[in-house]
């Protein structure tokens, strides 16, 4: 069974003890007509040192898009990183599709210049039950020498395939249009260097935030918002990314327990590996972590329970496929629609279980 949605560590009802969330109740209609409850404890699992990126936007605006932003992390994470980048607002309605301008590289080199579909595959585990999560990302890359930069990058969509008898399926697709506009990878840097066995590639560690004000919460030392901390023009907080009147991003859960969760999360990824060539596609190993931050829920208190990152490192990776000029063209919405449709064919390993 397959359900579209964002991948969060809190998607499975598997870890009924050791949960880091406090529980309380709020009256019906606190955010919208449905009854909700729950408040997260201050986040604190993600650490790291981040590289400074230029540019910022005023904090606190519910419509703020992600911008390059430096973030001073906590000690204990040695991998360099960058935070989510920015780009112009999404294209107006019915634009005239234009051909991509990204240069075509020499396929005999380690040049990543071009347009890419990237599928992230990562797995959470709760009491031995695995849940396979995917993110579908569009990249336009420019490379000079051994260094490259993402000039445009969009998170197009996500889905989850739950495994095990106690798994819960989560549907977060109502937030996809906002994710395409707000979760942006422009500015992400990396290297692709010739090696004896092919090309050694690294995409720098990068933070992204969902359902909350950016760039404020891109700083991993800043606790994520609680259900009471709604963003205003004057202060950062959670934002209603799917327009349903509830905090953050709403997940509709079904399975062992059904209901809704309202989340604002922070995640980082770091991609590395040596591949034979980059002419058409390649796969990199992925390190990652996430702060789930279930701010509130509608239904059983178990909806706030969280699973953990699966211990098997081979389950976490990213598969890249080089796009041709006739694949994933048009405005942003058309590109993302095509990326999601093409992912199972162009990146079958990462898009599967």
Please count the other Cβ atoms lying within 10 Å of the Cβ belonging to residue 220: 27
| Degrees to nearest 5, angle at CA 176 with 7 and 317 | 35
The residue with greater pLDDT, 30 or 252, is 252
String of DSSP letters for 315-327: G-EEEEEEPPTTS
The confidence score (pLDDT) of residue 155 equals: 95
| Cβ within 8 Å of residue 317, ≥6 positions away | 120, 121, 122, 283, 284, 285, 286, 350
User: Cα torsion for 274, 275, 276, 278, to the nearest 10°?
Assistant: -130
Which of these, 162, 137, 192, lies nearest to 320 by C-alpha position? 137
Given CA atoms 291, 296, 297, 302 in this order, what sign does their dihedral have? positive
| First-residue to last-residue Cα distance in the chain | 11
Residue 302's φ and ψ, nearest 5 degrees, are: -65, -15
Residue 314's φ and ψ, nearest 5 degrees, are: -70, -10
Give the C-alpha separation, 331 to 338, whole Å.
11
Q: What's this model's pTM, rounded to 2 decimal places? A: 0.72
The confidence score (pLDDT) of residue 127 equals: 62
Residue 287's φ and ψ, nearest 5 degrees, are: -100, 145
The confidence score (pLDDT) of residue 188 equals: 97
What is the SS3 assignment for 176?
helix
- Binning pLDDT at 50, 70 and 90, where does residue 202 land? very high
* Tokens of residue 131, six digits: 């849940």
Which of these, 61, 23, 17, 62, lies nearest to 261 by C-alpha position? 23
The residue with greater pLDDT, 128 or 59, is 128
What is the SS3 assignment for 190?
strand
Given CA atoms 32, 33, 39, 40 in this order, what sign does their dihedral have? negative
Rounded to whole angstroms, the maximal C-alpha distance in the chain is 63
Mean per-residue pLDDT over the chain, rounded: 76
Give the C-alpha separation, 332 to 261, whole Å.
28
The confidence score (pLDDT) of residue 107 equals: 45
| Cβ within 8 Å of residue 174, ≥6 positions away | 242, 243, 244, 250
Convert the pLDDT of each residue in 240-293 to its tens digit: 999 999 999 998 877 777 889 899 999 999 999 999 999 999 999 999 999 888
Given CA atoms 99, 102, 108, 110 in this order, what sign does their dihedral have? negative
Give the C-alpha separation, 40 to 22, whole Å.
6
The residue with greater pLDDT, 76 or 273, is 273
Preceding amide of 215 cis, omega within 30: yes
Give the C-alpha separation, 49 to 76, whole Å.
9
- Binning pLDDT at 50, 70 and 90, where does residue 161 land? confident
* Tokens of residue 215, six digits: 């760039």
* Tokens of residue 140, six digits: 């336009």
Which of these, 182, 224, 219, lies nearest to 61 by C-alpha position? 182
């Amino acid at each position: 069974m397959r359900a579209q949605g964002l991948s969060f560590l809190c998607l499975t009802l598997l870890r009924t003890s050791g949960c880091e969330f406090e529980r309380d109740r709020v009256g019906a209609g606190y955010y919208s007509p449905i009854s909700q409850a729950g408040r997260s404890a201050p986040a604190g699992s993600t650490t790291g040192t981040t590289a400074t990126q230029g540019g910022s936007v005023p904090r606190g605006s519910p419509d703020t898009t992600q911008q390059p932003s430096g973030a001073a992390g906590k000690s204990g994470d040695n991998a360099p990183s960058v935070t989510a980048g920015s780009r112009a607002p999404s294209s107006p309605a019915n634009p005239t599709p234009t051909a991509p301008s990204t240069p075509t590289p020499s396929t005999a080199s380690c040049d990543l210049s071009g347009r890419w579909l990237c599928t992230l595959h990562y797995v959470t585990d709760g009491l031995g039950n695995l849940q396979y999560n995917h993110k579908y990302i569009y990249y336009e890359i420019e490379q000079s020498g051994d260094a490259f930069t993402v000039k445009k990058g969009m998170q197009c969509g996500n889905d989850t395939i739950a495994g095990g008898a106690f798994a819960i399926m989560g549907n977060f697709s109502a937030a996809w249009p906002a994710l395409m506009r707000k979760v942006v990878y422009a500015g992400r840097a990396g290297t692709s260097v010739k090696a004896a066995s092919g090309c050694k590639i690294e995409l720098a560690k990068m933070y992204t935030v969902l359902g909350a004000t950016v760039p404020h919460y891109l700083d991993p030392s800043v606790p994520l918002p609680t259900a009471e901390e709604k963003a205003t023009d004057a202060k950062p907080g959670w934002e209603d990314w799917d327009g349903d009147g509830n905090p953050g991003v709403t997940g509709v859960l079904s399975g062992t327990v059904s209901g809704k969760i309202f989340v604002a999360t922070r995640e980082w990824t770091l991609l590395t590996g040596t591949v034979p060539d980059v002419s058409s596609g390649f796969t990199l190993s992925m390190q990652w972590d996430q702060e789930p931050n279930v701010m509130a829920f509608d239904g059983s208190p178990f909806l706030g329970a969280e699973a953990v990152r699966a211990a098997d490192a081979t389950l976490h990776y990213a598969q890249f496929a080089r796009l041709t000029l006739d694949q994933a063209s048009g405005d942003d919405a058309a590109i993302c629609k095509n990326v999601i449709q093409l992912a199972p064919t162009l990146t079958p390993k990462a898009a599967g279980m």
